[in-house]
Amino acid sequence: MDQRKIQVIVYRVSGSNGEVLLLKRSGTDVWAPITGGVEVGETYNQAARRELLEEVGARSWKKFVPSVHSFTFINPPVHRRPGLVHEEVFGCEVDSGFVPTLSEEHDDYRWVSFEQALEYALPKDQKIALEKLSILTESL
């Protein structure tokens, strides 16, 4: 069965500088934006908003940017969830003083510039989404 996932790139703007929130997955060296599955009966948009609350405690935000990027990939047969995956990427601007409340899924966080975020070992489509959001936020 096809899987549906979301990614939310949380960012903040202070003056003319934008920063992206990266989360460190517990017990690993993996840094990434918010990611999560879409539950049965839930839209991508609803899933993104739910994950914002669950993973970083964001109850409100300044801007919510839908349709930043979407992509499809295949998890290999040995993956815990093998098969076709469709992922939708959203952006979410929070206040400049926002401090995330981490769930047990993550054990650390950091704010980095859009350029610095691209230096992390992110999959190609996550980097494309960051680049697109960087361009979009300049025009918002």
| Predicted local distance difference test score (pLDDT) of residue 17 | 80
- Torsion (CA) 36, 40, 44, 46 in degrees, nearest 10: -90
User: Is domain 3-139 annotated with CATH 3.90.79.10?
Assistant: yes
Instruction: List, in order, residues 6 or more apart from 129 with CB less than 8 Å away.
Output: 7, 9, 68, 69, 89
The pLDDT mean for the chain works out to: 92
Domain boundaries, the chain: 3-139
Bigger pLDDT: 14 vs 41: 41
Mean pLDDT of 36-49: 96
Mean pLDDT of 10-19: 86
At residue 94, what are phi and psi to the nearest 5 degrees?
A: -110, 165
At residue 99, what are phi and psi to the nearest 5 degrees?
A: -120, 115
Distance CA 21, CA 34 (A): 9
State pLDDT tens for residues 60-106: 999 999 999 999 998 888 988 888 999 999 999 999 999 999 999 99
